[in-house]
Homo-oligomer: A and B are copies of this chain.
Amino acid sequence: MAEAARRPTIKEVAQLAQVSPMTVSRTLSGGVNVRPDVQEKVFAAVEELGYYRNENARSIRPGHTSGLIGVAITNIANPYYSTFALGVEEQAALTGRRMLLGNTSEDAGHEAALIDDFLGRRVEGLVVVPTGSEDASLTRATRQGVPVVLASRRIEGLDVDSVVLDDAGGAHAGTTALIEAGHTHIGFLGNSRSIFTGARRHDGFARALADHHLSPDLVRAGQQTADEATAAMRDLLALETPPTAVFCANNRNSIGALREIGRQLRAGGVSRDQLPELMSFDSFELAELSPVPLSIIDHDPQELGRAATKLLLARLHPDTRDAPVQEIELPVELKLRAL
């Protein structure tokens, strides 16, 4: 370990190679109009000093960009979102761009601070899984010509590109499948209706029940974590007439529900066929170990990330910069009794 980071500059390289900084710059930018032997000298100096072009300095020059994509997601550790982030990173890397990744913790204040910070760093664009409704930072971003793509959730009134899932359709299809299998007592575990997907998936669920004149009692919403979902599931199972099937509106709720089912089985006193079967919006690792029948409303979060980033990259391209706003709704696939 040594003193603070002191990195060589183009001048030092120039000095060592006995050329002007411009010659170094040209060499490093492809070497047009630089004699091969001079290039050799430059590369040697670069190597000797361990020189790296300062991208931050480059990016402030007119016409240059930062090569940075700002990504704000609600929870990095949630495998769903980390897979999403992988999709973003992968696409961004294809064009040599890097991902600045921040966690919003489902908090609008954090999100705004993060976006502001990203804008200060001159990100070329933003991929956001928004926490709430309006966000002044996002509005400012678009107003300044920084493209924003919303993923998984939209924001009413914010007219930007977005990629979401067919939440209502998937939830409706899944719930209908449960009803057609004979269930009349169907529970619901989901996050808050104030969250875009929460409302849409619940809508699909409720509509399917209504289609069959079933009443939507047995609804537990607002669970953000698997632990909260476990408690809500326990609650449902403790009812006088517990559900014979439970619709889980996202992977946190599915996992929480499965944990409670596993716990009750291990505790004894109940058998598998006394426990409800599950319908999960979102897949997750080890779903195949479910002790009860499990159906999945499936889709690939990595693909969601890719799709969102493709929209963003298109906006970054001069030809498609001014294309009309794209609102993509990705299909989901119902996998009945998927295990």
Q: Which residues of B contact A77 (CB under 8 A)?
A: 79, 82-83, 85-86, 302
Pairwise interchain contact B57-A7, C-beta atoms closer than 8 A: no
A113 nearest CB neighbor, chain B only = B93
In the complex, the 5 A-B pairs of residues with the closest C-beta atoms, listed nearest first = A82-B82, A5-B145, A289-B289, A56-B56, A77-B86
Instruction: Please report the C-alpha to C-alpha distance between residue A265 and residue B77 in the assembled complex, in whole angstroms.
Output: 31
- Given known pairs A76-B85, A117-B98, the reply for A323 and B145 (CB within 8 Å) is no
- Check if A318 is an interface residue, CB within 8 A of chain B: yes
Segment among A185-193, A195-203, A256-264 that sits at the interface with chain B = A256-264
Chain A residues 9 to 60 lying within 8 A of chain B, measured CB to CB, are: 50, 52-57, 59-60
Contacts A/B (CB < 8 Å), 12 sampled: A1-B142, A7-B119, A7-B122, A7-B145, A52-B120, A79-B285, A82-B85, A89-B102, A98-B121, A259-B288, A262-B288, A286-B289
Pairwise interchain contact A119-B259, C-beta atoms closer than 8 A: no
- Check if A66 is an interface residue, CB within 8 A of chain B: yes
Q: Which residues of B contact A122 (CB under 8 A)?
A: 7, 54-56
Instruction: Please report the C-alpha to C-alpha distance between residue A339 and residue B261 in the assembled complex, in whole angstroms.
Output: 13
Pairwise interchain contact B2-A322, C-beta atoms closer than 8 A: yes
Chain A residues 112 to 139 lying within 8 A of chain B, measured CB to CB, are: 116-122, 124
Pairwise interchain contact B60-A56, C-beta atoms closer than 8 A: yes
In the assembly, how many copies of this chain are there?
A: 2
CB proximity of A194 to chain B, nearest CB, Å:
24
A146 nearest CB neighbor, chain B only = B5
- Check if A330 is an interface residue, CB within 8 A of chain B: no
Q: Which residues of B contact A226 (CB under 8 A)?
A: 285
- Check if A103 is an interface residue, CB within 8 A of chain B: yes
Pairwise interchain contact B99-A86, C-beta atoms closer than 8 A: no
Instruction: Please report the C-alpha to C-alpha distance between residue A192 and residue B141 in the assembled complex, in whole angstroms.
Output: 46
- Check if A184 is an interface residue, CB within 8 A of chain B: no
Instruction: Please report the C-alpha to C-alpha distance between residue A147 and residue B79 in the assembled complex, in whole angstroms.
Output: 29
A322 nearest CB neighbor, chain B only = B1
Instruction: Please report the C-alpha to C-alpha distance between residue A47 and residue B6 in the assembled complex, in whole angstroms.
Output: 36
- Check if A303 is an interface residue, CB within 8 A of chain B: no
CB proximity of A265 to chain B, nearest CB, Å:
9
Interface string of A243-281 (1 = CB under 8 A from B): 000000000000100110011001000000000000000
Pairwise interchain contact A79-B76, C-beta atoms closer than 8 A: no
Q: Which residues of B contact A212 (CB under 8 A)?
A: none
Chain A residues 84 to 111 lying within 8 A of chain B, measured CB to CB, are: 85-86, 89-90, 93, 98-103
Give the residue among A6, A90, A144, A258 with the most B Cβ atoms within 10 A: A144
Contacts A7-B145, A100-B100 known; 17 new A-B pairs at CB < 8 A: A4-B318, A5-B145, A6-B144, A8-B144, A56-B57, A56-B59, A60-B60, A76-B82, A76-B86, A77-B85, A77-B302, A79-B285, A81-B82, A85-B101, A86-B103, A255-B286, A285-B286
Instruction: Please report the C-alpha to C-alpha distance between residue A154 and residue B69 in the assembled complex, in whole angstroms.
Output: 30
Instruction: Please report the C-alpha to C-alpha distance between residue A116 and residue B102 in the assembled complex, in whole angstroms.
Output: 22
Pairwise interchain contact A144-B318, C-beta atoms closer than 8 A: no
